[in-house]
Amino acid sequence: MISGKNIALVGASKNREKFGNALFRYLKMRGYNVYPVNRNGGIIENTRAYRTIEELPEGVDLVVFVVPKNESFEVLKKAVELGHKKFWFQPNTLGKDAEKYLAEIPHLKYTAGRCIMTET
């Protein structure tokens, strides 16, 4: 379900030993425009990190989650309020509340439980 070139990565990390950083680098290497979202902001791999999903520029095609289940639901709701419609939940990032919420809104598209690195 990867369409478009602009990806928001919720849970991007400055720490090169964390998956949120490895995934950021991988997507960049594959030619995507990646907008890292990290509550601390700052710079991740020479790219401005946004503190919240509300700060993202327009034109994001896909929101990818690499945060714990208990954090993804609130970000998901805010993303939907902002008009985002396509989501990718890395393994173990989609909780029951978020899954139920997604099921109630039929126009939303999402992938869950599969690693985006194996799909691109």
pLDDT score for 1: 55
Torsion on CA atoms 75, 100, 110, 84, rounded to nearest 10? -40
What pTM value is reported for the model? 0.94
Q: pLDDT tens, 10-57?
A: 999 999 999 999 999 999 999 999 999 999 999 999 999 999 999 999
pLDDT classification of 4: cutoffs 50, 70, 90: confident
Q: Are 104 and 80 in contact (CB under 8 A)?
A: no
Measured CA to CA, the distance from residue 8 to residue 80 in angstroms comes to: 13
Q: In one letter, which amino acid is 81?
A: E
Q: In one letter, which amino acid is 117?
A: M
What is the per-residue DSSP string for 41-57? -SEETTEEPBSSGGGSP
What are the tokens at 61?
């095609």
Q: pLDDT tens, 63-113?
A: 999 999 999 999 999 999 999 999 999 999 999 999 999 999 989 999 999
What are the tokens at 119?
């799909």
Q: Closest Cα to residue 76, out of 102, 47, 112, 37?
A: 102
pLDDT classification of 120: cutoffs 50, 70, 90: confident
pLDDT score for 95: 93
**Owner of token pair 């090169």:** 16
